[in-house]
Chain A
């Protein structure tokens, strides 16, 4: 009754259709979807043509979108991990994204030794610390309130976010910080030219780390006992409990895992940006959007959602005024919700069952 798992939520989100009209409506929806895709495509190409874009320019925008999209995907995975086990949308996810790089930078500055050593140790140390913070947050706030409604628990995570960001402001002040690029170990990154496309070396790190995290996550859920137990909680909490799984511990672990995902996302991104105490709000919001686009319970869905969001933003920003970038992202979001109420990968991912 209090916390509920996957099955009831997935059943919760269908469009209410009358059976007699179902097939007709499905056809109408598909036609509308095709129309929207064609219109958006035509618009992007038309606007691009107006400013004289060639294929290489579109490719550049695509690569740019894939870079930030991979980060959105990692953040989105954190939302999914927590939601599957606890049924809560964790608005504190953005705090993990901010704490990761801020702690790494502080540790990096206080260590001595070769830069590579310092970077590796400080990044690992930061990720572990943020994981501990994530688990502590669950134990101290959400675990005692586990009987409360989902909305109440979501608002608790909002409160946690406000507090953590406030503490970060006291600890680090409002000024921006720098984490050196992983390749050059300096403030300015190397640029790789592929044909006429320019890619920051850090972008390859972002893609590499994102893929590595996905592989690790898959191995964790498929091959380890704890991972399997966590999946069981996601499918049906009560059954899992009857099987002897400590559901509350799994929930704490899920928060730790989400914190790791958020912190890693923040750390690999930070050489391409300049971390500040308030960077978590924006990235957390975008990660949430990506997770929802992917259906909120599906890991592959979250990844696709993140990448789709990144690319759409980049293309839109590239062909028209950047001020409207988010407008477009959210318009696409609402449309995707209406067309795929089960998420982009409905029926294909684990969550679609």
Chain B
């Protein structure tokens, strides 16, 4: 008995020593660098801060797992270099150039806002470095003149066109043919209006009155015009806090008209700062916001719940936002693409290989906003069906299934 015990102990010890050698990859390859640029300060801070927190979370995860293991079995350390563009286009451009030329990053995950993202587009393109933006404007991935994809630029962020299509579907279903559209006077707000004009027009919904309002406005003369126009629903294109302020103003003054937000309002800040006025408002949102209500069969559910758990831990209790989700998807794409790169390539070749992998190997990626597939013709890969219509009920976001649209 005793000798057998000793033998077992020796065997166990041998196994303990040798198994890690078998399981661990034979080689450790070149460390990878991801250049991460977000708007951590300035007007974009409420978007950029959650993105930065996710970058930290991912770095922690990578350190814990010892980096990534490529498809060729080689292990690579990954370093995420976090930078702040102060919500400014010129700073973003300088940072992008510095990260590509001085820090020699393999891929950029860069741009919280459309302006800074667009300013980095020519630099990433010219210096042949793949860039994944976290902003929404179509022009980031597609040349507006030629309508062709920009080969080096990607983004996992749905656009206002998708959001407007979903809004139109909802409005049509509840029998509304004329709406008012109020949008904050920012890049995001303007784009919601332009998108609404396109998508609402397709299903015959007319915009009876549309105007912008100032991000810092406290009084809304526009509401006077909404009352005069006789529209049955008010579509708001805005991000909290402005979205909350105008929501309160419209709800109080225009009476029982339907309020429909864009996906920029899909943030716990809307409920926190609009209170009772937000009750009953409707908006198309990414699934991340209502992950716990998704059916267990939805693959997106598990990814989001894991992310939310880690995110709340690392931020000390911040509620999840869609922007955190965008940063997560962008970084995951970068990591997935880096896994496909064979070890030992020179820097320029690694960048090319990452670009090719992003175009060719991101298939049925299960992300925070849906299941996405990239191709040379589509650097976004978002399926508008993945947007869910959400309403505010009892101070929380609740999925509004199609049967309950009324």
Contacts and interface: CB of A to CB of B under 8 A. Distances in A.
A177 interface: yes
Contacts of B242: 274
Contact of A273 (B41, B216, B225): B216
Which of A71, A169, A188, A274 neighbours the largest number of chain B CB atoms within 10 Å of its CB?
A274
A51 B252 CA distance: 23
A197 to B, nearest CB: 9
Interface stretch (A57-65, A73-81, A235-243): A57-65
Interface in B214-263: 214, 216-222, 224-225, 228, 240-242, 244-245, 248, 251-253
Given A169-B45, A189-B252, A321 B218 contact: no
Which of B45, B216, B225 neighbours the largest number of chain A CB atoms within 10 Å of its CB?
B216
B352 to A, nearest CB: 37
A272 B220 CA distance: 11
B240 A274 contact: yes
B332 interface: no
Which of B45, B212, B221 neighbours the largest number of chain A CB atoms within 10 Å of its CB?
B221
Contacts of B45: 169, 173-174, 277-278
Given A175-B269, A321-B211, A282 B216 contact: yes
A68 interface: yes
Contact of A178 (B211, B218, B222, B273): B273
Interface residues of A, number: 45
B49 interface: yes
B41 A188 contact: no
B224 A272 contact: no
A65 B221 CA distance: 9
Given A60-B224, A188-B276, A322 B240 contact: no
Interface in A316-344: 317-318, 321-323, 325-326
A45 to B, nearest CB: 15
A169 B216 CA distance: 17
Contacts of B216: 273, 279, 282-283
Which of B46, B219, B252, B277 neighbours the largest number of chain A CB atoms within 10 Å of its CB?
B219
A274 B245 contact: yes
A57 B218 contact: no
A64 B276 CA distance: 23
B272 interface: yes
B244 A274 contact: yes
B274 interface: yes
A187 B219 contact: no
A7 to B, nearest CB: 37
Interface in A35-61: 51-53, 57, 60-61
Given A166-B41, A276-B241, A317 B272 contact: no
Given A176-B273, A177-B273, A189-B252, A321 B212 contact: yes
A90 to B, nearest CB: 20
Contacts of B387: none
Nearest to A286: B216
Given A178-B273, A188-B277, A314 B240 contact: no
Interface in A84-140: none
A189 B244 CA distance: 13
A187 B224 contact: no
Which of B48, B222, B253, B273 neighbours the largest number of chain A CB atoms within 10 Å of its CB?
B273
Nearest to B41: A169
Contacts of A291: none
B43 A278 contact: yes
Given A60-B224, A322-B185, A68 B248 contact: no
Contacts of A273: 216-218, 241, 245
A176 B253 contact: no
B228 A51 contact: yes
A65 B218 CA distance: 10
A56 to B, nearest CB: 9
B275 interface: yes
A22 interface: no
B49 A322 contact: no
Given A52-B228, A279-B216, A188 B252 contact: yes
Contacts of B218: 67-68, 71, 269, 272-273
Interface string B273-293: 111110000000000000000
Contacts of B221: 60-61, 64, 314, 317-318
B328 interface: no
A50 B118 CA distance: 38
Contacts of B274: 187
Contact of A322 (B214, B241, B272, B276): B214
B241 A274 contact: yes
A323 B275 CA distance: 28
Interface of A: 51-53, 57, 60-61, 64-65, 67-68, 71, 166, 169, 173-178, 186-189, 191, 198, 200, 269, 272-279, 282-283, 314, 317-318, 321-323, 325-326
Instruction: Give me the 9 closest cross-chain CB pairs, A-B, nearest first.
Output: A176-B241, A187-B275, A174-B45, A274-B241, A318-B221, A64-B219, A174-B46, A272-B218, A274-B273
13 contacts: A57-B228, A169-B41, A173-B49, A175-B46, A176-B273, A188-B276, A198-B253, A269-B218, A272-B245, A273-B241, A274-B240, A278-B43, A322-B213
